[in-house]
């Protein structure tokens, strides 16, 4: 069983310096039909103008993953971390008992385009933490590259939830199969380009929710795709 979430049906937020599309209810966008999926709570596609960004603000008890599609995303937090990440980099912040951070465009000339992903943890009140890993294009080409997991296996960033996040870059003749154990949920977000997911043609910004399916099957197209293996 599946449900398509079209790009154009996402919640818009336009602030001049920020153009955002919310796959799930967030901020002033509220839709009781789209409050999350399993522990997946937020996928925001953000485009931030040069030199602009989110000032210091707090989070708690959330696993926050930033996936840059283009440009440079700069980060500072109350743990003492400060860096700038670009395409291929994945950043994970475990908010736990509480952390403050800021995110802003690291360039004064080019826009930054990124996905911000929030996953609810399986344990509240953990010690806050931060991690960055780089995943080269070749590692994602025609394969499901694990980028986040509960145990940090295969060089992925570690999250406090029994969930796995994979990144894939598809070519026209590719076919990628990600098995789902009984009782698991699948969620696929097309970040760029196009892809066919479990037989459904999707474009950038589209997503597919999978329930009671044994596999996530990615085929063809020219897109970069994020696939989630989630508990109910």
Residues 128 and 143 in one domain: no
> What's the per-residue H, E or C state across 35-72?
CCECCEEEEEEEEECCCCEEEEEEECCCEEEEEEEECC
Residues 66 and 30 in one domain: yes
Q: Domain ends where: 104, 134, 164?
A: 134
Strands in 78-183 per DSSP E: 82-85, 89-94, 99-105, 112-119, 129-134, 145-149, 157-158, 164-169, 175-179
Any idea what the CATH number is for the domain that residue 28 is in?
2.60.120.10
Q: Domain limits at 105?
A: 8-134
- Average pLDDT over every residue of 46-57: 91
Are 180 and 210 in contact by the 8 Å Cβ rule? The answer is: yes
Per-residue pLDDT tens for 172-184? Answer: 999 999 999 999 9
82 pLDDT higher than 90: no
Q: Domain ends where: 95, 112, 134?
A: 134
Residues 152 and 99 in one domain: no
171 part of a folded domain: yes
Percent of residues in the chain assigned helix, strand, coil, to nearest 5: 5, 55, 40
Give the pLDDT confidence score for residue 183 in this predicted structure.
97
Long-range contacts of 17-25 (CB under 8 A, 24+ apart): 17/48, 17/49, 17/52, 17/53, 18/46, 18/47, 18/48, 18/49, 18/52, 19/46, 19/47, 20/44, 20/45, 20/46, 20/47, 21/45, 21/205, 23/189, 23/207
Q: From the CB of residue 198, how many other CB atoms can be counted at a distance below 10 Å?
A: 16
Q: From the CB of residue 183, how many other CB atoms can be counted at a distance below 10 Å?
A: 8
Residues 23 and 92 in one domain: yes
Q: Domain ends where: 118, 134, 150?
A: 134
Per-residue pLDDT tens for 145-197? Answer: 999 999 999 999 999 999 999 999 999 999 999 999 999 999 999 999 999 99
Q: From the CB of residue 180, how many other CB atoms can be counted at a distance below 10 Å?
A: 18
210 pLDDT higher than 90: yes
Residues 149 and 115 in one domain: no
Specify the number of domains making up the chain: 2
- Average pLDDT over every residue of 100-115: 92
Q: What is the pTM of this model?
A: 0.96
């Amino acid at each position: 069983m599946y449900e398509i979430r079209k790009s154009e049906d996402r919640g818009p937020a336009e602030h001049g310096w920020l153009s955002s599309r919310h796959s799930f209810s967030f901020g002033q966008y509220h839709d009781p039909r789209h409050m999350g999926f399993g522990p997946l709570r937020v996928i925001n596609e953000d485009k931030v103008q040069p030199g602009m960004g989110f000032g210091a603000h707090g989070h708690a008890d959330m696993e926050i993953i930033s996936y840059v599609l283009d440009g440079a995303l700069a980060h500072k937090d109350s743990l003492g971390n400060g860096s700038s990440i670009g395409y291929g980099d994945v950043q994970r912040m475990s908010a736990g008992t509480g952390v403050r951070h800021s995110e802003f465009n690291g360039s004064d000339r080019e826009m930054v385009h990124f996905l911000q992903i929030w996953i609810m943890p399986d344990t509240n009140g953990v010690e806050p933490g931060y991690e960055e890993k780089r995943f080269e294009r070749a590692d994602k080409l025609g394969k499901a590259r694990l980028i986040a997991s509960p145990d940090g296996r295969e060089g992925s960033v570690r999250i406090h939830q029994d969930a796995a996040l994979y990144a894939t870059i598809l070519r026209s003749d590719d076919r990628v199969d990600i098995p789902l154990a009984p009782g698991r949920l699948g969620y696929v977000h097309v970040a760029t380009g196009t892809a066919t997911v479990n037989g459904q043609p999707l474009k950038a910004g589209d997503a597919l929710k999978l329930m009671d399916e044994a596999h996530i099957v990615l085929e063809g197209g020219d897109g970069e795709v994020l696939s989630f293996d989630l508990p109910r």
